[in-house]
Amino acid sequence: MKRLIPQHICALTPYQSARRIGLKGRIYLNANESPWINTVKCKHSNLNRYPDFQPYELLKKYSKYSGVAKENILITRGADEGIEILVRSFCAPNHDKIMFFPPTYDMYAVNADIFNIKQVVIPILSDFQLDLINIKKNIGDIKLIYICNPNNPTGNCFLRKDIISILKFIPQTTLLVIDEAYIEYSLVNSFTHELTKYTNLVILRTLSKAFGLASLRCGFVLSNTYIINVLKKVLAPYPIATPVSDIAVQSLKLDNIKRVQKNILKILNNKEFLVEKLKHLSCIKNIFPSNTNFILIQFFRSKSIFRYFVSHGIVIRDQSHKIGLKNCLRISIGKIDECQDLIAALYMFEGKKL
C-alpha cells in the first residue's frame, strides 16, 4: 500500500473541519455557521435524470443577486471546490506555485499539498494587513494568489488599496483569487465591481455562511468568460445536484434575501453586544476587530478557557496553533441567548457575577 500511494499523499495532513474534529456540545460556535435554520423547502422531481451541468435558473438568480453577468459565473460545490478547481485547472504538479498569507483558511495549503503544488507563504503583518514588500519580492512565477477577504480566522478586511496594488503589479500570468465567503457581513469590501477592470481577478462566493445553507454545499466562482470556460473543462460533469439547485434558487428569491439581510443585522448587533460584555473580563488580552460573523480573541490562558467552554457544552475553535495567533480562540456569533450563555460561562470562570 505504501508503494501504491504517492509520497505527498502519504505525508498529507487533511483539513481539520469543525465536524471532523468532532467536539460535542449544546452550543456550536466553532464553524461560523448561521445559527438560524433556513426555512427554504426542498421541492424537486425527475431525480431519475441527471441535472444540468450549470443550472440556468440558479445562474440567473445569482447573477441578479451579485450584479455579475451569468457568463461570468460558475456554480461549484461550495467555495471549497472553487479553491480546488483553480489549482487543478491552472497549476502543473511539481512546477507551479501558489501564494497565500497565513494565518488564513487552511484549504489553500491543503489543496496545494494534494496536487503537489509548491507554496510561497507570506505571513500577514502584526496588524493583520498584507506584507506588500515581501509579496512583491516573491511574486516572480506565482500562478495563483489566494486572499481571504474578510480573512478567516482573523476576521478583518485587508486594505482595499493594498489589494488593488497587488492587482496592478502582478503579471497577467498570475491570477488573484479573492475568497469572499464572509462578504455578506461587509459588502462594501467586495471586489465584484473590479471584475471588468482586471482580467486576472477571480472571486469566490458561497451560500454556506450568511445564507445559512452550509450543508447545501453551493458556491460560485466569478471571473471573466475565458477563465470560467477553462474551469468548465475541468469541473465534474454533474456538479450540482437537482435538490441543491432547487433550494439555492429559492434562497435567492427576494423574500429570502430580505430574511438573510435581517439575520445579518441580528448577527452584527449580537457581535456588538458580545464584544461590549467581553471588554470587562480580565482573562482577555485582546479582542480583534471583525468584519465577519465571528470574533478572534486573545486570552491569557486560552487552553484553560477552551477546556472550560467544552466542559460547559460550548464548542468554539482553537486557533492558538496558527502563526501569530498564540492564545487565540475564534468564536462564531450565535443567537442572543447563545451569546449570553458564553458570557455567563466566562464570568463564572473568573468568579464574577453578571
The fold adopted by the segment(s) 7-30+256-349 is Aspartate Aminotransferase, domain 1 (3.90.1150)
d(CA 28, CA 351): 24
pLDDT higher than threshold 80 for residue 259? yes
- Provide the 8-state DSSP code for 55: -
Read out DSSP for 109-130? HHHHHHTT-EEEE-PPPTTS--
Residue 354: the pLDDT is: 62
pLDDT higher than threshold 90 for residue 353? no
Grid cell in block for residue 205: 462566493
Bigger pLDDT: 275 vs 21: 275
What contacts 221, CB < 8 A, 6 or more positions away?
A: 73, 74, 76, 82, 85, 86, 202, 203, 204, 205, 228, 231
**Could you give the residue range(s) of every CATH 3.40.640.10 domain in the chain?**
56-252
Average pLDDT over residues 58-67: 98
Phi, psi of 61 (to 5 degrees): -65, -45
- % of the chain exceeding 70 in pLDDT: 99
What's the CATH class of domain 56-252? alpha beta
pLDDT higher than threshold 70 for residue 252? yes
Average pLDDT over residues 278-283: 93
Residue 298's beta-bridge partner residues?
286, 328
Q: Residue 228's pLDDT band (boundaries 50, 70, 90)?
A: very high
In single-letter form, the type of residue at position 174 comes to: T
Average pLDDT over residues 293-314: 96
Distance of alpha carbon 285 from the chain centroid: 26
Average pLDDT over residues 187-201: 97
d(CA 202, CA 150): 15
Residue 12: the pLDDT is: 83
Residue 65: the pLDDT is: 98
Bigger pLDDT: 16 vs 262: 262
Average pLDDT over residues 275-288: 95
pLDDT higher than threshold 90 for residue 245? yes
Q: Residue 13's pLDDT band (boundaries 50, 70, 90)?
A: confident
CB 175 within 8 A of CB 202: yes
Residue 308: the pLDDT is: 96
**Could you give the residue range(s) of every CATH 3.90.1150.10 domain in the chain?**
7-30+256-349
Residue 273: the pLDDT is: 97
pLDDT higher than threshold 90 for residue 256? yes
- β strands within 129-238, DSSP E: 142-148, 175-179, 201-206, 219-222
Residue 45: the pLDDT is: 72
- Among the listed residues 89, 208, 113, the one whose alpha carbon sits nearest the alpha carbon of residue 100: 113
d(CA 228, CA 154): 30
Residue 124: the pLDDT is: 98
